[in-house]
């Protein structure tokens, strides 16, 4: 066991790893582009000069929001997802609109997908959902003191229901593996850690 173990006083936040020198890009082939997503095939140059193929998906950055009511309960949405066909519990989330600030997008997605508005919005740690294949990044927030302000405002491809859960129920949903959406699992666990 190292000197700085679980029982030590105030361990410091460890440093990030020393960065590797980035690959060079020998050339880049555009496979697809649309307003919604893109795909390119880069030929990268390694440190020894060798060239390798690297596919990169292009997806606009997103927000994810944990909506918390004044009594501490958490609002989830039961959402249908076409790619895998399941309906499961998630949190409000979506892409940033053109020129939109992440906090503004968080309030908008919260409003559209739950009908709630947050009196306070605080950042949670953000994340790269699949950094082996895309630079797509998610900004996460907790929306505190949420109040119901109106009906849902959904696109016609969005199918969802809204339900509130206690913290204990959120813990059970997580630990039983029922929060299969990564955006929801990460953000809910960060919130449970921060508010415990």
- Within 61-120, the residues that bind its own copies by CB under 8 A are 71-73, 78-89, 93
| Residue number, 31 or 149, with CB nearest to its own copies | 31
| Nearest by Cα to 90 from 163, 176, 191, 167 | 163
**Under a CB-based contact definition with an 8 Å cutoff, are residues 114 and 186 in contact?**
no
Count of alpha carbons within 13 Å of 52, Cβ hemisphere only? 10
CB of 13 to its own copies, least distance (A): 4
Residue 189: burial class (beta carbons within 10 Å; 0-12, 13-18, 19+) = middle
| Residue number, 71 or 98, with CB nearest to its own copies | 71
Establish if 49 lies at the interface with its own copies (CB under 8 A): no
Structure tokens belonging to residue 9: 């006083």
Establish if 55 lies at the interface with its own copies (CB under 8 A): yes
CB of 107 to its own copies, least distance (A): 19
Only one residue has tokens 């927030």, namely 141
CB of 111 to its own copies, least distance (A): 18
User: Of 30-38, 99-107, 108-116, 142-150, which segment contacts its own copies by CB under 8 A?
Assistant: 30-38
Structure tokens belonging to residue 166: 């206690």
| Residue number, 36 or 98, with CB nearest to its own copies | 36
User: Of 100-108, 114-122, 124-132, 146-154, which segment contacts its own copies by CB under 8 A?
Assistant: 124-132
State the virtual CA torsion across 162, 196, 65, 13 in degrees, nearest 10: -160
Within residues 136-165, the interface with its own copies by CB under 8 A covers: 136-138, 156-157, 159, 161, 163-165
């Amino acid at each position: 066991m190292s000197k700085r173990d679980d029982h030590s006083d105030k361990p410091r936040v460890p440093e990030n790893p020393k960065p590797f020198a980035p690959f060079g890009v020998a050339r880049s082939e555009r496979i697809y582009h649309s307003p919604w997503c893109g795909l390119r095939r880069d030929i990268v140059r390694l440190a020894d000069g060798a060239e390798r193929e690297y596919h990169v998906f292009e997806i606009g950055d997103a927000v994810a929001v944990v909506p918390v009511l004044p009594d501490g309960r958490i609002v989830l949405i039961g959402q249908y997802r076409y790619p895998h066909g399941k309906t499961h519990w998630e949190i409000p989330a979506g892409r940033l609109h053109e020129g939109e600030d992440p906090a503004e997008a968080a309030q908008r997605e919260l409003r559209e997908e739950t009908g709630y508005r947050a009196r306070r919005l605080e950042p949670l740690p953000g994340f790269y959902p699949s950094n082996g294949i895309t630079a797509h990044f998610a900004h996460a927030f907790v929306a505190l003191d949420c109040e119901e302000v109106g009906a849902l405002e959904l696109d016609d491809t969005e199918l969802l229901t809204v339900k509130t859960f206690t913290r204990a129920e959120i813990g059970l949903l997580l630990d039983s593996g029922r929060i299969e959406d990564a955006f929801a699992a990460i953000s809910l666990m960060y919130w449970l850690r921060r508010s415990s």
